[in-house]
Amino acid sequence: MRPYTFAGGTAVVTGAASGIGRALASGLASRGSHLALIDRDEEGLRTLVARLRPQHPELRVSVHPFDLSRTAEIPDLAGAVLREHPRVTLLINNAGVALGGAFTQVSAEDFDWVMDVNFRAVVALTRAFLPALRSELDSHLVNVSSLFGLVGPPGQSAYSSSKFAVRGFTEVLRHELGPLGVGVTAVHPGGVRTNIARNARVGSGVSASEAQAGQRQFERLLRLEPARAAEIILGGVERRQPRVLVGDDARVLDLLARLLPGSYGRVMGALLHLAGEGR
């Protein structure tokens, strides 16, 4: 498959109002891609677009405020995007949410919310945009999993389950869609400095002190700048890489999980503890 060409194509990016999504939007615009930007944060989207349009007046940039937990409405969302951008060449399913707490501390409703946004929305968006992708030569699909789609740490039952699901779904699609001319990339970011920890829900069974301690520990792991993460991801897209590991932590823990698939927990815990202390 030839390298992906950004210039003149149209990219749909979810979770575009902040973090990696915002950095991806900026990187795509600088490469000449028209943009359809999706996020539940309408103000954040409009702030981003107000910066991008003067810098790239030649590009078509549309905003689509939408809560991806409303998975049944995603076909309507896709229809709205396609009315503004009839040709879609790249779909980046980047949006994600987090939920802190052991499995016994989180409600079924909160667990399902994470699965809806992180996995079911990815499936629904892929289904909705796949006809458009297949109609283009050399189109591409990117699904953002996580470091926690490679390993399963304590306290991340919903998040890790959703990201492992994204990983499996993406690997199947790579084998199914490659022969049809659609490239597929799974992305596994490690600790990227975004608002995901600050915005995470906390299980109803988690005490306030536990929640604060968990958030502080998680935030200390978020070191890589979103702009750098976006450049790594877009470089992987251009090269049609099947899998992109973002950050040293993702590469180390991926190797650990492959070397010690049944017993990586203790070593992983020690590594994450050291990383959280900044060593």
Task: Provide the annotated active-site residues.
Answer: 159
Contact in structure between 201 and 97 (CB atoms under 8 Å):
yes
* Cβ neighbours, 10 Å, residue 43: 10
Which residues contact residue 123 at a Cβ distance below 8 angstroms, ignoring those fewer than 6 apart? 169
30 vs 233: CA distance, rounded Å: 14
**C-alpha–C-alpha distance, residues 9 and 35, integer Å:** 9
Question: Which residues have C-beta within 8 Å of that of residue 70, sequence separation ≥ 6?
Answer: none
Q: Judge contact between 33 and 59, C-beta under 8 A.
A: yes
Task: With beta carbons less than 8 A apart as the criterion, state whether 66 and 123 touch.
Answer: no
Tokens linked to 177: 């869609």
Question: Rounded CA gap, 147 and 6, in Å?
Answer: 26
Burial of 187 by CB count in 10 Å (0-12 exposed, 13-18 middle, 19+ buried)? buried
